[in-house]
Each structure stands twice: as C-alpha cells, then as structure tokens.
Amino acid sequence: MLSIIDVFDRVVVGQYRGPVCEAKHAVQTLYGALQNRIESGDTMPVIRTDNGPQFVSKLFGDTCESLEVVHERIPPRTPNMNAYIESFHSLLERDLFSLKSFMTFEEAYEALDHYMDFYNNRKMHGSLKLMPPVKFSAWVNTLEDSSAFHKAM
C-alpha cells in the first residue's frame, strides 16, 4: 500500500493497493494524486517520502524531475520527519488492519476502500476544526474564493 496525503488538509489524495509496490506503481499514484489536486498554473507540491526502493528508483526520480516536483527523502530511521503519513498509517493499522483478518486481497481492498471513504469524508479531525478532510478542504476553498472576491472589489 502506498498513500499520498496532503499535509495541509489531510486528504489522502492518492493511494495504491496491490500485492507489490514498485516504482511504476508509485509513479502512477503520484500522477493520479497530482491530477486530483493540481490545476493549471498551480505551483507543484513538495513530495516527501522515505527511502523505499520505489522512491530511490531512477523512474521515480526522473518522473519528479520531468514534472518539476521537488522530491525530499527523509533520512533513514527518521519516521518523525514524515509524521503525517506515519500517523495516517498508524490509524489505518489501529482502525482496520488490526481488527480483522482478510482471506483474500480483494476482501482487504474492499475494506480499505470503505475506510478511505470514511477517513476522507467522515472522520473528524481536531486539527481541522472538527471537520473531515474533504469538508475542511472545501471550507478553506470557499474562504480563499471569498478573499479573492473581496480583494478584487
């Protein structure tokens, strides 16, 4: 499993699930996340990862370079430097994977999809004014739209 989280609003903007996670899967997930979140003219985000083989690969590095995405890799044995995704994966383990055994990958994928819907759309976060990530993101966007409107006046 590979997850990409927006550290501002905590929305999981991209996720890969499969029996293996190779560089090509990381690249596909990155492309999908960027398509979901980046509009024409936006500044590309900084991508922070650990040093897994998919992230130190030539393919992932070349992709980041061609997209003009800054790719930061945390030093080995410093998960605290990637705290948001580590926290998310900890919640996923606690709330889903430690509670149930799965007989097939498909069963696990279905449970993961349900959890992702819950996490992004219904799980309230104290750091997001007690809103779920998607609702918080929409709320922030209305503030930005309102601010841009008032500045134009």
CA 61 to chain centroid: 18
Q: What is the pLDDT of residues 37-93, one digit of tens each?
A: 888 778 889 999 999 999 999 999 999 999 999 999 999 999 999 999 999 999 999
Distance CA 14, CA 96 (A): 18
| Helical axes 58-67 vs 23-37, angle rounded to 10° | 20
Distance CA 33, CA 19 (A): 20
Distance CA 95, CA 103 (A): 18
> Nearest to residue 54, comparing CAs of 116, 3, 109?
3
The CATH number of whichever domain residue 42 belongs to comes to 3.30.420.10
Range of the domain at 144: 2-152
- Whether the pTM exceeds 0.75: the reply is yes
Number of domains making up the chain: 1
Find all residues with CB under 8 Å of 152, minimum gap 6, and list them: none
pLDDT tier for residue 147 given thresholds of 50, 70 and 90: low
Does residue 107 have a pLDDT over 80? Answer: yes
